[in-house]
Structure 1
Amino acid sequence: MAEMSYRTALITGASSGLGRGLALWFARRGVKVYAAARRRENLEALANEARAAGAHIEPVELDVADEEATLTRIRELDAACGGLDLIIANAGFGQESSGKRINWETVKKTIDVNVTGAAATLCAVLPQMVERKRGHIVGVASLAAWRGLKRQAAYSASKAFLSTFMESLRVDLKTTGVRVTCIYPGFVKSEMTAQNKSMPFLLETEEAVELMGKAILRGEAEYAFPWQTASLMSLMKVMPNVLFDTAMRKLR
């Protein structure tokens, strides 16, 4: 599959981790990147780093959990730049949500960011992309979407929503000229995963960004990595519930 080219891109969750890495990765390849996140100071530092390398990153202070503000701001950017070519819904929130001590505030925040915020990001200018017959939307899900993992009820469910949402959009948009990609990372070093005690096949942020960036350029429909974790989760997807439940109970 031939690699695609972009003039402009919007990436959410760009103040740290994968979002920050992706913003720099695309900016260094000549894309004007609108880097969106809540922490303005982090975005300014990111823009300065890009500028020093001769690249262009525009900070966009945005909280995707506020869906109305998200819709409005992305539509403004789309109009101002002559049309966004690439939108990556990367912003995410993850915190333990064990059924034994469920906390509604955690569940709600997970839904607000990972479900409502991601959907608003992807839908904001999708009609305009369809009208222009070009564009590429990318949802960053997780391998945790493939089964309901232990103590991850809200997170696994939120990423499962994004996975199914992206699949339906991909089918609907097949002949429109708008590409759809869903990415399923495993464990990657970041602020969000720092709380995890066990992370098999952990990837450095830079390595994960390189894999994701290349998959996006290729226009992959789905991309799961690293292969070791993806293979394990593929087996778990088809595992009978009695075996899966037993495996989860034994998991530390």
Structure 2
Amino acid sequence: MNEQLPCRTALITGASSGLGRGLARWFATRGVQVFAAARREQQLEELAKECREAGGKLEPMRLDVSDSDDTIRRIRELDERVGGLDLVIANAGVGADTPAKRLEWEDVKRIIDVNVTGAAATLCAVLPRMVERDRGHLVGISSLAAYRGLPGSGAYSASKAFLYIFLEGLRVDLQRTHIKVTSIHPGFVKSEMTARNKFPMPFLLETDDAVERMARAIVRGDSEFAFPWQTSSLMKFAKVLPNGAWNMVARRMMR
């Protein structure tokens, strides 16, 4: 495609499947040099081949964001090698059931290591040089779950709320610069993660549809993008409900 985009290089974590894979392919096939990072090398190699056949440019990068020290070191090395990454999308994420009555520390720790520490390390690795250059774009893939603590998913909701508020703080600090900050909040999207859910998922989106919406929001430079409107409207309303009212709603969700 001959679409002119405002970036020439992009790093996307969690790129071996789902939204990350879709975003990597979307940008790579539109002339952006994409560095696709994830733990699963085979899936990354398949993605690179797919992008090459479509005329895109994508370089696989094996990376486990739960190892924050290695993540910062390797992303900074990449940033140096390419002369500064223009776009960084912290997408890597995991989920797990964390009901209060059966709470397991290992499940909570895994979510924190990837969704909180891993995302923050990814963004912190590139921000100093973006500030030096006074350009760049930071993106975090949060969730509609960030707006309230959902039943059985307290750790996941909290991890996405961290990313949401962390990005908001960065955006406020960087508002007098040319660095953009975008927080994206998808609803339910078909993926390996949502395939494991054992509850109804209203307004479930196809992956390609979600990727197209997210990519367009990134290109526009939106500060926050929540979708689809049906569930995002409900969750934004839930966000301002008094705790007592939200407790009643949550009880109904648990039935």
Q: Which TM class, normalised by the smaller chain length?
A: over 0.9
1:190 maps to 191
Which whole-Å CA distance do the structure 2 matches of 1:175 and 1:232 have between them?
Answer: 33
1:172-218 deviations in Å (ceiling 9; x for gaps): 01112110000000000000111113110000000000000000000
Q: 1:234 aligns with which of 233, 236, 254?
A: 236
1:57 maps to 58
2:80 maps to 79
TM-score for both structures, normalised by structure 2: 0.97
Which whole-Å CA distance do the structure 2 matches of 1:7 and 1:145 have between them?
Answer: 31
1:157 maps to 158
Asked if the contact 1:27–1:56 (Cα under 8 Å) also holds between the matched residues in 2, the reply is: yes
Asked if the contact 1:4–1:218 (Cα under 8 Å) also holds between the matched residues in 2, the reply is: no
1:216 maps to 218
Asked if the contact 1:181–1:222 (Cα under 8 Å) also holds between the matched residues in 2, the reply is: yes
1:97 maps to 98
Asked if the contact 2:99–2:153 (Cα under 8 Å) also holds between the matched residues in 1, the reply is: yes
2:201 equivalent to 1:199: yes
Specify the code of the residue in structure 2 equivalent to 1:157.
A
Which whole-Å CA distance do the structure 1 matches of 2:43 and 2:5 have between them?
Answer: 29
Specify the code of the residue in structure 1 equivalent to 2:230.
Q
Specify the code of the residue in structure 2 equivalent to 1:131.
E
Runs of 4+ with deviation above 4 angstroms: none
Shift of 1:72: 0.6
1:136-151 equivalent positions in 2, closer than 5 A? 136-151=137-152
Shift of 1:4: 5.5
Asked if the contact 2:11–2:88 (Cα under 8 Å) also holds between the matched residues in 1, the reply is: yes
Which whole-Å CA distance do the structure 2 matches of 1:142 and 1:32 have between them?
Answer: 26
Asked if the contact 2:135–2:179 (Cα under 8 Å) also holds between the matched residues in 1, the reply is: yes
Task: Among all aligned residue pairs of Structure 1 and Structure 2, give the percentage whose two residues are the same amino acid.
Answer: 65
Asked if the contact 1:4–1:219 (Cα under 8 Å) also holds between the matched residues in 2, the reply is: no
User: RMSD of the alignment, in Å?
Assistant: 0.9
1:114-133 equivalent positions in 2, closer than 5 A? 114-133=115-134
Which whole-Å CA distance do the structure 2 matches of 1:82 and 1:109 have between them?
Answer: 33
1:33-52 equivalent positions in 2, closer than 5 A? 33-52=34-53
Unaligned runs of 5+ in 2: none
Shift of 1:247: 1.3
SS in structure 1 of the partner of residue 95 of structure 2: coil
Shift of 1:242: 1.2
Asked if the contact 2:5–2:30 (Cα under 8 Å) also holds between the matched residues in 1, the reply is: no
Which whole-Å CA distance do the structure 2 matches of 1:101 and 1:249 have between them?
Answer: 17
Which whole-Å CA distance do the structure 1 matches of 2:114 and 2:143 have between them?
Answer: 14
TM-score for both structures, normalised by structure 1: 0.98
1:169 maps to 170
Which whole-Å CA distance do the structure 2 matches of 1:46 and 1:212 have between them?
Answer: 19
